[in-house]
């Protein structure tokens, strides 16, 4: 699973061929001991947990990068190489 971005200790990842379990576009987040699955482009928590302050940062990042995330999603579900996305600054 490639990391597509990292910011403020948050690692954002996207699995290849990962459209079976959640049936919708999403990203995987790791931050310290927390792991979460968050829908794109809505920013809804689908699974796991994440500190509230970090969750808000991820939601803001998703809002800024919706088009890039959806483009990466299309690549990932087809097993193609995804692109890195700029971190939140």
Indicate whether 84 belongs to any domain.
Answer: no
Give per-residue pLDDT as tens, 16-68. 887 777 779 999 999 999 999 999 999 999 999 999 999 999 999 999 999 99
pTM of the model: 0.92
**Numbers of helices and strands, H then E, in the chain:** 2, 5
Q: Binning pLDDT at 50, 70 and 90, where does residue 1 land?
A: low
In this predicted structure, what is the pLDDT of residue 3? 95
Indicate whether 40 belongs to any domain.
Answer: yes
Which of 46, 51, 70 is CA-nearest to residue 10?
Answer: 51
55: containing domain: 3-77
Q: Name the domain count of the chain.
A: 1
Indicate whether 82 belongs to any domain.
Answer: no
Indicate whether 89 belongs to any domain.
Answer: no
In this predicted structure, what is the pLDDT of residue 22? 72
Indicate whether 56 belongs to any domain.
Answer: yes
Indicate whether 87 belongs to any domain.
Answer: no
């Amino acid at each position: 699973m490639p990391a597509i971005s990292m910011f403020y200790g948050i690692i954002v990842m996207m699995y290849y061929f990962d459209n079976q379990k959640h049936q919708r576009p999403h990203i995987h987040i790791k931050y310290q001991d927390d792991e979460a699955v968050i829908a794109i482009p809505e920013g809804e928590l689908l699974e796991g947990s994440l500190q509230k302050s970090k969750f808000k940062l991820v939601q803001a990042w998703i809002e800024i990068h919706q088009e890039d995330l959806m483009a990466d999603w299309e690549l990932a579900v087809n097993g193609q190489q995804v692109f890195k996305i700029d971190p939140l600054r």
